[in-house]
């Protein structure tokens, strides 16, 4: 397990150093180990958490929901069902958003076809 520092994690994930610090501070990711000099030293588990949180944030999952999920995860097996319900609810909300985006896409497609069918949209 290779340990890397915050700057490298920032480059690999596309998240700013400030965002990574914030995520740790608010509990979005578990506390990261520190070197004797006080530098954050990220291991594989830390990086997996960051990837998960980044994915969830990119999907629009609110920070407070993710903080709750991480806190439940840290409590262990007794919270397994509650964690599953929390994630399932977020998936349901994401499915609703995807359906709405699909409807919007269809409306745009129809509008383009009916009004601008003679123009090669997106190929200029």
Q: Which tens digit of pLDDT belongs to each residue from 74-100?
A: 999 999 999 999 999 999 999 999 999
Say what the pTM is: 0.80
Task: Kindly give the pairing relationship between strand 4-5 and strand 41-42.
Answer: antiparallel
Task: Please state the φ and ψ torsions of residue 75, each to the nearest 5 degrees.
Answer: -80, -15
69 close to 23: Cβ distance less than 8 angstroms: no
| pLDDT in single tens digits along all 124 residues of the chain | 688 999 999 999 999 999 999 999 999 998 899 999 999 999 999 999 999 999 999 999 999 999 999 999 999 999 999 999 999 999 999 999 999 999 999 999 999 888 887 665 555 4
DSSP category for residue 100: H
The Cα–Cα gap between 63 and 107 comes to 32
Tokens of residue 24, six digits: 């740790």
The pLDDT assigned to 121 comes to 59
The pLDDT assigned to 115 comes to 85
The Cα–Cα gap between 10 and 13 comes to 5
């Amino acid at each position: 397990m290779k340990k890397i520092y915050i700057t490298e994690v920032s480059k690999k994930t596309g998240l700013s150093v400030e965002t990574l610090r914030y995520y740790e501070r608010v509990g979005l990711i578990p506390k990261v180990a520190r070197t004797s000099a006080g530098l954050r030293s990220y291991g594989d588990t830390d990086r997996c958490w960051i990837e998960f949180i980044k994915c969830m944030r990119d999907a629009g999952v609110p920070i407070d929901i993710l903080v709750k999920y991480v806190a439940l995860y840290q409590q262990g097996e007794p919270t397994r069902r509650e964690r599953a319900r929390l994630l399932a609810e977020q998936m349901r909300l994401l499915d609703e958003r995807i359906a709405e985006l699909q409807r919007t896409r269809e409306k745009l497609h129809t509008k383009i076809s009916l009004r601008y069918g003679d123009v090669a949209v997106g190929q200029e």
